């Protein structure tokens, strides 16, 4: 006799975790740290490593993963340290984040991969490629470069500092919708990917950035936030792999001039624009973002 999970009492069921359409979700340990990851496609396929932006999670790539898997790619999207359900690092900087990526790839048997990096994940991808050119076959940078706009970055910081917690997922969805005017819909039920419920019933961010900003552990006064960009222009100029710079058409973080500047530093780079999208282009217009990335990989033979 088989027993349906729906017939079991709730206390007997294992905790649920959000499995993306057509993909897998799991946990592993690398260098003693727990890492949560999503993946799609055959493990023997050409690998694509997707690194999300600051304050986001691997679910940023839930539209891209199935599309690339359908063309035979193996897509690996981890929650970066201190984000989602991955353990944090003591030091939170671009180079510290980048140092975790090669061991993660080795853990999954990935020796050569294309990278897709959004915002902080894009900076991290550049740093990984500069240190390990043998590992990186191509890069897609989503709305990031070595010169970012003060107003847009400040808006991100202000949003992270503004909310210590939310009374409900509905309240969080309302505030996030105000912050993301280009997003067609923010579904409250999906926000459990980014928020964790406390014993008092309130919901707080999973990522460590909000808490560190609110406690002033991370000093972003004046131009201090720009320290994360130090040396990024030199690393970009050292790249020899093909690079696609994607810019959200309405982005207030990466200007068209900034996109052209970073592409100009890289010998084999080009720029494309994601229509009807802001800084979080992969979520604002996933169809256009996915099409541009797929076309780029086909063009470079990946």
Assess if residue 278 is contained within a domain: yes
Which pLDDT belongs to residue 160? 85
- Domain hosting 273: range is 20-149+232-300
- pLDDT bin (cut points 50, 70, 90) of residue 182 is confident
Q: What are the distances in angstroms from CA 263 to CA 99, 152, 239, 259, 271? A: 24, 20, 11, 6, 7
What span, in angstroms and rounded, lies between the C-alpha atoms of 177 and 126? 30
Tell me whether strands 203-205 and 195-197 are parallel, antiparallel or unpaired: antiparallel
The radius of gyration of the chain's CA atoms, rounded to the nearest angstrom, is: 19
Assess if residue 267 is contained within a domain: yes
* 3-state DSSP assignment of residue 114: strand
What span, in angstroms and rounded, lies between the C-alpha atoms of 42 and 242? 24
pTM value surpassing 0.75: yes
Assess if residue 280 is contained within a domain: yes
What span, in angstroms and rounded, lies between the C-alpha atoms of 243 and 241? 6
Which pLDDT belongs to residue 93? 86
pLDDT exceeds 80 at position 263: yes
Which pLDDT belongs to residue 175? 93
Which pLDDT belongs to residue 218? 56
What is the domain count for the chain? Answer: 1
Which pLDDT belongs to residue 68? 98
Longest distance between any two alpha carbons in the chain, whole Å: 67
pLDDT digits (tens, 9 = 90+) for 232-243: 999 999 999 999
Assess if residue 255 is contained within a domain: yes
pLDDT exceeds 70 at position 7: no
pLDDT digits (tens, 9 = 90+) for 124-174: 999 999 999 999 999 999 999 999 999 999 998 888 888 889 999 999 999
pLDDT exceeds 80 at position 188: yes
Assess if residue 198 is contained within a domain: no
pLDDT exceeds 60 at position 10: no
Assess if residue 126 is contained within a domain: yes
What span, in angstroms and rounded, lies between the C-alpha atoms of 49 and 139? 9
Assess if residue 180 is contained within a domain: no
Which pLDDT belongs to residue 223? 56
For residue 257, give the CATH number of its domain.
Answer: 3.40.50.1820
Assess if residue 190 is contained within a domain: no
Q: Which residue has the higher pLDDT, 276 or 93?
A: 276
Which pLDDT belongs to residue 6? 53
Q: What does the mean pLDDT of the chain come to? A: 91
Which pLDDT belongs to residue 221? 53
Q: Which two tokens stand for residue 285?
A: 């217009």
Which pLDDT belongs to residue 79? 97
């Amino acid at each position: 006799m088989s027993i349906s999970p729906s017939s079991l009492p709730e206390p007997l069921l294992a905790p649920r975790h959000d499995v993306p359409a057509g993909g897998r979700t799991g946990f592993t340990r690398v260098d003693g740290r727990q890492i949560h990851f999503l993946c799609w496609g055959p493990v023997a396929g050409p690998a694509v490593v997707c690194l999300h932006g600051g304050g986001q999670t691997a679910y940023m790539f839930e539209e891209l993963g199935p599309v690339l898997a359908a063309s035979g790619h193996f897509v690996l999207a981890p929650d970066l340290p201190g984000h989602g359900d991955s353990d944090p690092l003591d030091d939170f900087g671009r180079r510290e984040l980048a140092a975790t990526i090669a061991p993660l790839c080795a853990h999954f048997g990935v020796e050569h991969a294309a990278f897709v990096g959004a915002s902080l994940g894009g900076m991290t991808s550049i740093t990984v490629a500069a240190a390990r050119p043998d590992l990186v076959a191509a890069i897609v940078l989503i709305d990031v470069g070595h010169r970012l706009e003060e107003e847009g970055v400040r808006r991100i910081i202000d949003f992270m500092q503004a909310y210590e917690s939310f009374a409900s997922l509905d309240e969080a969805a309302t505030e996030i919708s105000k912050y993301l005017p280009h997003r067609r819909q923010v579904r409250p039920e999906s926000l459990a990917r980014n928020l964790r419920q406390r014993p008092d019933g309130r919901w707080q961010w999973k990522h460590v950035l909000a808490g560190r900003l609110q406690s002033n552990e991370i000093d972003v006064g004046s131009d201090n936030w720009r320290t994360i960009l130090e040396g990024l222009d030199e690393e970009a100029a050292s790249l020899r792999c093909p690079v696609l710079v994607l810019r959200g058409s309405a982005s207030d973080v990466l200007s068209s001039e900034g996109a052209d500047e970073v592409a100009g530093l890289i010998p084999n780079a080009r720029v494309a624009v994601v229509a009807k999208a802001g800084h979080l282009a992969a979520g604002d217009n996933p169809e256009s973002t996915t099409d541009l990335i797929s076309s780029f990989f086909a063009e470079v033979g990946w």
